[in-house]
Structure 1
Amino acid sequence: AEIDVIWDNFQEKLEPLRQQLNEALGTQWEEWEIPRELTDAYFPKDIRVDSRAFAGKIHADWWKQRIARQQEIDASIAAKADSEYLYDKPYEDKKKVRVAGPFTVESLSPHRTLGVDADDELIDPLEAGEGKQAEFGSQKTFVEIILENLKTAGVQQAHKEDKIHFTALKPWPGDLVCAEGVYTESESASEKRAGIFIGPEFGTVARADLVAAAREAGDADFDVLIACAFNYEARTTEFDKLGRLPVLKARMNADLHMADELKNTGSGNLFVIFGEPDIELLPDDHGQLRVKVNGVDVFKPQTGKIESSNTDEIACWFIDTDYNEESFFVRHAYFLGAADPYKSLKTTLKAEINPEAWETLYSDTSRPFNKPKSGRIAVKVINHLGDEVMKVFRV
């Protein structure tokens, strides 16, 4: 390349100057270490006047050649390199419809403020907990904030009648189970005890965490374990029961990161349980696979049992036909629901949609696809509230 030739030509001039400069100053500077200005601090105390002037001249000559080299390289790149125009304000094309809107990024501060006293000294949380510094001790912890909102909002499911309302919610002295909730079964009018497990404020709940919490809840004779977390790892999807103990995974709304700034009215869907999707793999005679979604298993607080429902609770579902266990790539997308979204989509796009093509998308059974090289596929199901659950299959 031309810039390599330019570099080599100038290196024949720069390298001798660098060596002379190091000899004059008694240094061992590499090219990137040579300062832009040669101040008094760089000269030895016993250097002669003529040697000082000589070193200054070499330094100036080196930088002159260094700048000239960069200018020639920049000119070569500008003349020979490919270029393209970048548009930050594109022209609007009325003939095209944007299906996906622009991305929106929200930022939540992962920091909590530390209390300071009248002398601007940091308040020790341990002393505050002992009552020595009551002002800081009154600040609520993350778990206390979550439990306060959980008691008010309850746990929402797809249907309002399946919402879990707590008549009482109090702390529990466990390792993972941090609270005991009491709710009433409407059919038997008997009270049921729920162990509450709260995941990390910034992190993901692993399957091992759920198993340990379920064992602890079972030993304490709870009727159900309700896990509340912002995110669950993929392997937790199939873990919905440990012995007789049902395990419900409630996804917490991201607004709870700022729960201390929200009004605790209980009207929002802060804790939502998305049931376990019932998914079936269908091999065909040609060695390909198809995926069928039968419905969603939903916990009924009225009976304390898990019952199956149809696909009306599902808004859409996606398939990654070659899942690499790192990221989910949508290779198949399908739409479901009690109300056919065809009309809404047609109105939004302001265009006619091929009915035959739409039939392949509005389906509970996927199109055939080849078996993945990775040996795994992943299916992600999303309900009308925007909650999602993913299942991974070995094939």
Structure 2
Amino acid sequence: MRALMDEVFGEENWISDIILTKTPGLTAEYIASTSDYIIWYSKRKPNLKYRALFTEKGFGGEGSKKYDKAVDSSYLPYALSSEQRSGVQTVPDSIRVFRHGDLTSQRQGRDNSEAGAMSFQYARNGVSFRPARGRGWSTTKTNMDRLLFADRIDITGKNLSYRRFLKDFAAFPKTNIWDDIGGIQSRADPKVYVVQTAVETVKRCLLMATDPGDLVLDPTCGSGTTAYVAEQWGRRWITIDTSRVALALARARIMGAKYPWYILADSPEGQRKEAEVTRASPATHPTYNDIRHGFVYDRVPHITLKSIANNTEIDTIWDNLQPAVEGARAALNAALSGHPAPFEVQTGGRKGVEIDFTATGEVELPSGEMAPANGFMEWEIPRDAPDDWPAAAKDALAQFWEARIARQREIDASIAAKAEFEFLYDKPFEDKKRIRVAGPFTVESLSPHRTQAVNEYGELIDEHDAAQGKRQGATEAENYRAAMLENLSKAGVQQSGRDDAIKFTSLVPWAGDWISAEARYMEGEVERRAGIFIGPEYGTVQRADLVACAREAADAGFDIVIACAFNFDAHTAEFRKLGRLPILQARMNPDLHMAGDLKAGGGNLFVVFGEPDIELREEGGMYRVELRGVDIFKPATGQVVASEPDDIACWFIDTDYNEESFFVRHAYFPGAEVPYKQLQTTLKGEVDQEAWDSLKRTVSRPFARPKSGRIAVKVINHLGDEVMKVMGVL
């Protein structure tokens, strides 16, 4: 496969082979297969759009083994137990896990002057430190103060270390091994197709390579997973399939689902959310709700020593909140002044020394700082008060910790907001008060359509020859016709009603230019002869083909022509009879392309869907279309009768048909008991009944005169069969 793809895209445009793990099949005869592959190529590798996706890092998972310490909800550090580090004991979410990193670096310069400049003395908890010889601090004195304010400097033995939290960068990029996809579908979106791809697989591919507003093409629609995912994530999409069953499943799946409402970056709500996340003033430029600007995404901060050291907002927070901390400390020391019981300090420059609250004056710490002999420094204050402390001291202690925690929480929030970050493209912010449903489908179909006939070598050939099967060699064409006739003989021709199916009593080849076989069936007690026309294996039957076929059948005395083809040109719908000779158009199931492997006679392989009975009328310069039903051929009587509109599942109007593609501009569902019942159930809320009822109608809303001079009406029955009629508008 790689060799083939190299030929198509060029080996220089190969990006990656993604290994997708899966559950092994229970019926494997030999070694079970547990993986699939996604082969990723770019049209031009230098122009590749790539958005990295991340796996969030959790304690006990990949990349967390060196994190052996934590701080509790009061920001007090402690060592994790062996049970916690091994995963035997769960670490609560409120616990922030960290490890120590080096706070010095090697400095080389002339006469080691640079190292000397960065080897200044620095105090932490009343103890002074200097870097080892030949090394210097990783940042300046001012920046070291910010690290100290942020509580990121710890004493480890005789050195200072940098406190690095697991959540400083709690993610790592996804690799090409996807072993966490899980099951195929969720209960909310169950599996409905035999080869349905997991939503998560398609989601990752789309999020890695596209942005909101980009166009995604899936030429093999299937159950519509690509379109479903693209719709959810704000991508435009085109999906294609030859099977009407697949398209019907995809249509129902997409239109019956609800989707999250992600906050647009180009919106007032987006500006406010972005300001909230980044702790900045909201943008004031005009907004236009343009999805191409993307969503407002959650992000994972990429906090580094440098980002903290350069964050000047920490100074402002310290200046604003530190007075409350100092005031509470002073109140605590005042409340304990004269307290008879000494208190042994366990941290800092007076570790292991008792503070005598009855003493007076100051003492000098190892750092050279002066501390009150009868009072606490900030780092010496205990978390809990002894039972014999007076009430005033206990109240002051509570106020101190409240102020200290508030200061630290504000600083941590600033650090996270001001740091560099990585967008989590799979986690846009959602407006929980709103939900979204699929918008209108722009292009419904490119079929029936006109195509130039080509042979097996891609060379243009005459349409007359193509219709006779001469696009292939004589042997291949004969084998194709024989396979089609074998299936037709056993399957017969189906219509919307089971009782109206045409079952042949005999079918034998016919050596005509257009007619391939003579088939016989019973019309009541009378046997009728049908001339069978088989359209080309690849291509579209034109009106001229049917005219020539009908003339040959009339000359041969046939009672009816059954024209079988994969595709009919839109204008063939206008040709239903030549004189007394009726012409039935039987659409061939695309499964017949696999005729060699297909069990003959299986399923609805040849289906007739009659001509829609449509009236176009003008009303005050505007136009309306009324659908009266569909003409159905009754083989038991030989008559064509009109069905009721309720027999039609849905019908669409392209009010300005360009003969190239069908745009759904009006959609109606007369045969549905409750239009969009699945969607109505999904929304789980009150709906405007009048709006629902407006979809269940056989007379269209008014529309203006088409610029092209044509409209097209497409009618679909409950089996998914469709027919289209083109009408000129003067």
Shorter chain as normaliser: what TM range? Answer: 0.5 to 0.7
Say yes or no: does 1:315 pair with 2:440: no
SS of the counterpart of 1:166? coil
SS of the counterpart of 1:256? helix
Give the match for residue 631 of structure 2.
Answer: 297
Closer, same or farther: CA 330–169 of 1 in aligned 2, 3 Å: same
SS of the counterpart of 2:680? helix
Instruction: Give, in angstroms, the shift of residue 359 of structure 1.
Output: 1.9
Say yes or no: does 1:227 pair with 2:352: no
SS of the counterpart of 1:365? coil
**Alpha-carbon distance in 1 for matches of 2:543, 2:688:** 43
Which of these residues, 223, 248, 269, is aligned with residue 604 of structure 2? Answer: 269
SS of the counterpart of 1:142? helix
**Alpha-carbon distance in 2 for matches of 1:151, 1:352:** 52
Counterpart residue identity of residue 86, structure 1: D
Give the match for residue 498 of structure 2.
Answer: 160
8 Å Cα contact 2:675/2:695 also seen in 1: no
> Which 5+ residue runs of structure 2 have no aligned equivalent?
1-46, 48-208, 213-232, 234-424, 444-453, 457-472
Give the match for residue 211 of structure 2.
Answer: 86
Give the match for residue 278 of structure 1.
Answer: 613
SS of the counterpart of 2:663? coil
8 Å Cα contact 2:672/2:696 also seen in 1: no
8 Å Cα contact 1:227/1:249 also seen in 2: yes
> Which 5+ residue runs of structure 1 have no aligned equivalent?
1-73, 75-83, 104-109, 113-128, 131-136
Counterpart residue identity of residue 304, structure 1: G
Give me the identity figure in percent.
60
Instruction: Give, in angstroms, the shift of residue 100 of structure 1.
Output: 8.2
Relative to the length of structure 1, the TM-score reads 0.65
Per chain length, whose mean CA-contact separation is higher, i.e. which structure has more relative contact order (CA < 8 Å, sep 6+)? 1
**Alpha-carbon distance in 1 for matches of 2:562, 2:476:** 27
Give the match for residue 246 of structure 1.
Answer: 582
**Alpha-carbon distance in 1 for matches of 2:577, 2:426:** 53
**Alpha-carbon distance in 2 for matches of 1:91, 1:172:** 64
Give the match for residue 372 of structure 1.
Answer: 706
8 Å Cα contact 1:192/1:223 also seen in 2: yes
**Alpha-carbon distance in 2 for matches of 1:249, 1:316:** 20
Say yes or no: does 1:346 pair with 2:691: no
**Alpha-carbon distance in 2 for matches of 1:160, 1:348:** 33
Give the match for residue 356 of structure 1.
Answer: 690
8 Å Cα contact 1:99/1:349 also seen in 2: no
Give the match for residue 669 of structure 2.
Answer: 335
Instruction: Give, in angstroms, the shift of residue 340 of structure 1.
Output: 3.7
Closer, same or farther: CA 335–101 of 1 in aligned 2, 3 Å: closer
Counterpart residue identity of residue 523, structure 2: E
**Alpha-carbon distance in 1 for matches of 2:648, 2:564:** 22
**Alpha-carbon distance in 2 for matches of 1:138, 1:297:** 36
Give the match for residue 218 of structure 1.
Answer: 554
Counterpart residue identity of residue 510, structure 2: W
**Alpha-carbon distance in 2 for matches of 1:278, 1:157:** 16
**Alpha-carbon distance in 2 for matches of 1:156, 1:197:** 16
Counterpart residue identity of residue 336, structure 1: P
Give the match for residue 151 of structure 1.
Answer: 489
Counterpart residue identity of residue 221, structure 1: G
Closer, same or farther: CA 220–340 of 1 in aligned 2, 3 Å: farther
Closer, same or farther: CA 86–317 of 1 in aligned 2, 3 Å: same
**Alpha-carbon distance in 2 for matches of 1:378, 1:233:** 13
Instruction: Give, in angstroms, the shift of residue 260 of structure 1.
Output: 1.0
Give the match for residue 193 of structure 1.
Answer: 529
Closer, same or farther: CA 168–372 of 1 in aligned 2, 3 Å: same
Instruction: Give, in angstroms, the shift of residue 347 of structure 1.
Output: 2.4
Give the match for residue 323 of structure 2.
Answer: none
Q: Deviations over 1:284-311 (max 9, x none)?
A: 1x21001110000000000011111111
Which moves more between the two structures, 358-367 or 340-349?
A: 340-349
Give the match for residue 61 of structure 2.
Answer: none
Counterpart residue identity of residue 237, structure 1: A
Closer, same or farther: CA 348–274 of 1 in aligned 2, 3 Å: farther
Closer, same or farther: CA 182–372 of 1 in aligned 2, 3 Å: same
8 Å Cα contact 1:360/1:367 also seen in 2: no
Instruction: Give, in angstroms, the shift of residue 332 of structure 1.
Output: 0.8
Q: How many residues align?
A: 282
Give the match for residue 8 of structure 1.
Answer: none
**Alpha-carbon distance in 2 for matches of 1:223, 1:241:** 11
Counterpart residue identity of residue 645, structure 2: T
SS of the counterpart of 1:202? coil
**Alpha-carbon distance in 1 for matches of 2:489, 2:534:** 13
Give the match for residue 179 of structure 1.
Answer: 517
Closer, same or farther: CA 211–323 of 1 in aligned 2, 3 Å: same
Closer, same or farther: CA 152–295 of 1 in aligned 2, 3 Å: same
Closer, same or farther: CA 217–349 of 1 in aligned 2, 3 Å: farther
SS of the counterpart of 1:204? coil
Q: Aligned Cα RMSD in Å?
A: 3.1
SS of the counterpart of 1:361? coil
**Alpha-carbon distance in 1 for matches of 2:719, 2:684:** 25
8 Å Cα contact 1:97/1:349 also seen in 2: no
Relative to the length of structure 2, the TM-score reads 0.36
Counterpart residue identity of residue 694, structure 2: T
**Alpha-carbon distance in 2 for matches of 1:206, 1:139:** 19
SS of the counterpart of 1:175? coil
**Alpha-carbon distance in 2 for matches of 1:147, 1:310:** 33
Structure having the higher Rg: 2
Counterpart residue identity of residue 174, structure 1: G
Closer, same or farther: CA 157–139 of 1 in aligned 2, 3 Å: closer
Give the match for residue 156 of structure 2.
Answer: none
8 Å Cα contact 2:675/2:692 also seen in 1: no
**Alpha-carbon distance in 1 for matches of 2:676, 2:476:** 53
SS of the counterpart of 2:694? helix
